[in-house]
Structure 1
């Protein structure tokens, strides 16, 4: 079966590249166990191809293939599971896979037909990979990527099942299935399986890398304490041109330093998270732009509607009772509200809202101020907080 082996070797470079990509991303990011599993699966494929090329005619080589083939699908199943957010394969399935593999190794030492020797470890591969595909079927929130992955998984499964009676032909051994044409098996089936397996590996690696990149993008745009947009992401948001009207609310927790000093930073963090949670319910464009300073961007909203939302936030936060603080200490926040339209930049509205917030601080805190004409220099800060 030199032709079949050579067809496999044509994708060896792709497999090697995928191994390197998986390992480099996994090691450099120090996260993403799915990439580690995929690298292990591809490494097993790499070794299997070498054994098929140079050692398939020895008893040791055949024994190595009997262990490598199930290992490929075990590792690939874990990569698929972890890459799609599923749990690892159950111990029962892993144990069944190991027992079937051991049965193949036992049969290899006995004088039985090759077809029977090779069936158990192929059934082990089918068992563990079918279990992963079935888990993916049961996942309710599949995206387009996962639908494509599911289709490829079942195509590979069909190929693996069809390969069972013809597997001895890969090792230049006779098969009892005379209806199958060996030349056709070499030219068509092996090529199709090579394309399917390589496509599956590419899709899984792409999925995993995409998830890792999205995770880091999320981390770069979100505040670690509150999960709101951080200052950089919020600045990027308001600098985008807009053709619609809206409003922006600037918020600041009153006397927050006193809360930290009196009750500790852990309580202070919990107060910030509580306020951030209230803010996030008002819209998706909420950001933490400083220690205890926040901003909320509202689109298709009038100044009056934004002021009502700010008043609702102020009232809800004013009623907050934290167990560590007690009823005798009030937590509150001040708000500044400004509107914008197609002729006014959101950045300018943010400055106006900031000035209104400063006025709220100056006028007693725990209140909402609506931006009017700028009578205060934009250079003023919230030092009064």
Structure 2
């Protein structure tokens, strides 16, 4: 009959192969590299545990590889969540507990008496992952399930470390203890939850890559706002409440590029985009220096107030690469769309209002006087 340890070894080996395959197929992400290291360490650890758990070499290997695997797992979570901080004090504590556990093994201290050191080393190593997940403010279903699974594994290690010295005789051989129902149950649940945690993290990493690719396809590479295609797709969605559309662009932008260089022009574009993003509404870069904002639920008059606030803030900015006395302005055109219409139905009128603002002298906000009901769909 195949033992649980060998089944677990096979599961971790499959995970290791899967992680390596995904690693080379998806931009060689750091999070995948750490997860692969986790799977490899877990595979070797369970192989040692299954083959000769009473041998000194096997015991030492298990004592080192198990907490090491959980440290690697924590590093994978750190990279997947985009965190830079390192819990160095925790790593030192895990290393000290590991060395102490090995010393107790070499001193022939019975397994029951030395196991708390090993169990707490593993729990502390895995606490790194728990802490990172708990501090992650954007947790969704996958992160919450992963947090629960990691918590369960930590609880198992703590249970083993506290309960074993109280339940089993101090001189009990591990071979006898391993046949007990408690040990078999904790090993089973620990293995299942550990494999599940790795699968969940792998799924989270892959999903993050997919979301990032989709975001990059929808966003302008310079400003981070929606690009032309994504903004027009958003504008094609029928609105239940109506609202307004704001078209705007930076005045005399070609002069800025010609006089101060394209780098200064790019910084001006990004500064303007930051102001639009700070408004909290969906904004897009629809042309070189042309932008647009969809303002649901606001009348044309209310949208004019918002647009004028952005106009004043942009005019008062001091731009990098330009002299202090040089200021840049922007022009705005606004049109309303009604309930049951798409924001796109107001694009043409908003663009015409922007043209009026330009021809009237720039650095102003103009509202379209054409009613929403009279406008046909604009591309």
Alpha-carbon distance change, 112 to 221 in structure 1, aligned in 2, over 3 angstroms: same
Indicate conservation of the 8 Å contact 1:32/1:212, yes or no. no
Indicate conservation of the 8 Å contact 2:87/2:128, yes or no. no
Deviation at 1:337, TM superposition (A): 1.4
- Report which stretch shifted further, 112-121 or 341-350: 112-121
- Report which stretch shifted further, 128-137 or 236-245: 128-137
Indicate conservation of the 8 Å contact 1:283/1:296, yes or no. no
State the match for 1:60 in structure 2.
Answer: 57
Matches within 5 A, 1:203-352: 203-322=200-319, 324-326=321-323, 328-342=325-339, 344-352=341-349
Deviation at 1:350, TM superposition (A): 0.7
State the match for 2:87 in structure 1.
Answer: 90
**CA offsets per residue over residues 288-314 of structure 1, 9 Å max, x none?**
112211001011122222233333333
Deviation at 1:262, TM superposition (A): 0.5
Q: Report the secondary structure of 1:326's partner residue.
A: coil
State the match for 2:46 in structure 1.
Answer: 49
**CA offsets per residue over residues 113-133 of structure 1, 9 Å max, x none?**
344565544432223223543
Q: Report the secondary structure of 1:267's partner residue.
A: helix
Equivalent residue in structure 2 for 1:143, among 112, 130, 139? 139
Q: Report the secondary structure of 1:335's partner residue.
A: strand
CA distance in 2 between counterparts of 1:43 and 1:52 reads: 14
Q: Report the secondary structure of 1:213's partner residue.
A: helix
CA distance in 1 between counterparts of 2:78 and 2:317 reads: 42
Do structure 1's residue 175 and structure 2's residue 173 form an aligned pair?
A: yes
Equivalent residue in structure 2 for 1:99, among 92, 96, 100? 96
**CA offsets per residue over residues 89-121 of structure 1, 9 Å max, x none?**
433322232233233434444444344565544
Indicate conservation of the 8 Å contact 2:71/2:125, yes or no. yes
Tell me how large the CA RMSD over aligned residues is. 3.3
Unaligned runs of 5+ residues in structure 1 are 168-172, 379-385
Q: Report the secondary structure of 1:251's partner residue.
A: strand
CA distance in 2 between counterparts of 1:22 and 1:86 reads: 21
State the match for 1:71 in structure 2.
Answer: 68
CA distance in 2 between counterparts of 1:214 and 1:106 reads: 47
State the match for 2:368 in structure 1.
Answer: 371
CA distance in 1 between counterparts of 2:17 and 2:78 reads: 21
CA distance in 1 between counterparts of 2:291 and 2:337 reads: 18
What's the TM-score once normalised by structure 2's chain length? 0.82
**CA offsets per residue over residues 123-174 of structure 1, 9 Å max, x none?**
322232235434555x27363544433332232112123334769xxxxx94
State the match for 1:170 in structure 2.
Answer: none
CA distance in 1 between counterparts of 2:300 and 2:350 reads: 11
Do structure 1's residue 189 and structure 2's residue 159 form an aligned pair?
A: no
State the match for 1:163 in structure 2.
Answer: 160
Alpha-carbon distance change, 52 to 343 in structure 1, aligned in 2, over 3 angstroms: closer
Indicate conservation of the 8 Å contact 1:19/1:43, yes or no. yes
State the match for 1:360 in structure 2.
Answer: 357
Do structure 1's residue 123 and structure 2's residue 120 form an aligned pair?
A: yes
CA distance in 1 between counterparts of 2:178 and 2:118 reads: 24
CA distance in 2 between counterparts of 1:86 and 1:252 reads: 36
- Report which stretch shifted further, 235-244 or 84-93: 84-93
CA distance in 1 between counterparts of 2:42 and 2:174 reads: 27
Q: Report the secondary structure of 1:250's partner residue.
A: strand
- Report which stretch shifted further, 241-250 or 74-83: 74-83
Indicate conservation of the 8 Å contact 1:22/1:35, yes or no. yes
CA distance in 2 between counterparts of 1:313 and 1:88 reads: 36
What count of residue pairs does the alignment treat as equivalent? 365
